[in-house]
């Protein structure tokens, strides 16, 4: 069992406040606001521990390093802003992806990633 250190607490709060998938560098930046001398090795070690304990889940995006989000969210998809590189949750699922499958195919799961520009980046233009 891992100790609940000041660093671990800052990392947990970073995920909770952001409420979106975070890269390791985003976690480091957000948690350093609370624990200034936090290092990237500590971030990786604690993310691994939080994954092992089931507190975090991995978000895999094509061609990207993994991001991490709070475990246990209902089914949802992700939006990846091509301008700022942030990833956001898209709640739910809008249509039946299995409807277009060829005869005899069975859909077991799916992942949808939307790409575009987030509101902050669109407003900045």
pLDDT above 50 for 1: no
Q: What does the pLDDT read at residue 100?
A: 79
Domain ranges of the chain: 6-70, 76-124
Q: What does the pLDDT read at residue 83?
A: 96
Strand-pairing partners, residue 87, are 80
Specify whether domain 6-70 bears CATH 3.30.360.10: no
What angle do helix axes 6-18 and 40-52 make, rounded to 10 degrees?
70
pTM comes to: 0.86
Is 76-124 in the same CATH topology as 6-70?
no
Q: What does the pLDDT read at residue 125?
A: 80
CA torsion 40-45-46-51 (nearest 10°) is 120
The mean pLDDT of 16-26, rounded to a whole number, is 96
Distance (Å, whole) CA 104 – CA 78: 29
Tokens of 82: 């091509």
Q: What does the pLDDT read at residue 53?
A: 95
Mean pLDDT for the chain overall: 91
H-helix or E-strand containing 24?
helix 24-32
Helices (H), 1-111: 6-18, 24-32, 40-52
Q: What is the pLDDT of residues 89-114, one digit of tens each?
A: 998 886 777 777 899 998 888 888 99
CATH T-level assignment (fold) for domain 76-124 = Dna Ligase; domain 1 (3.30.1490)
Distance (Å, whole) CA 85 – CA 107: 30
Q: What is the pLDDT of residues 46-61, one digit of tens each?
A: 999 999 999 999 999 9
Q: Measured on CA atoms in the order 17, 41, 77, 85, is the torsion positive or negative? A: positive
Strands 76-81 and 87-91: antiparallel
């Amino acid at each position: 069992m891992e100790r609940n250190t000041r660093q671990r607490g800052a990392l947990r709060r970073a995920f909770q406040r952001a409420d979106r998938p975070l890269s390791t560098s985003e976690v480091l930046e957000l948690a350093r606001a609370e624990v200034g001398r936090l290092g990237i090795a500590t971030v990786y070690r604690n993310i691994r521990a939080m994954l092992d304990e089931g507190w975090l889940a991995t978000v895999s995006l094509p061609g990207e390093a993994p991001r991490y989000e709070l475990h246990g969210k209902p089914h949802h998809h992700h939006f990846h802003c091509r301008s700022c590189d942030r990833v956001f949750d898209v709640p739910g699922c809008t249509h039946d992806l299995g409807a277009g499958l060829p005869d005899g195919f069975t859909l077991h799961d799916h992942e949808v990633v939307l790409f575009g520009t987030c509101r902050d980046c669109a407003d900045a233009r």
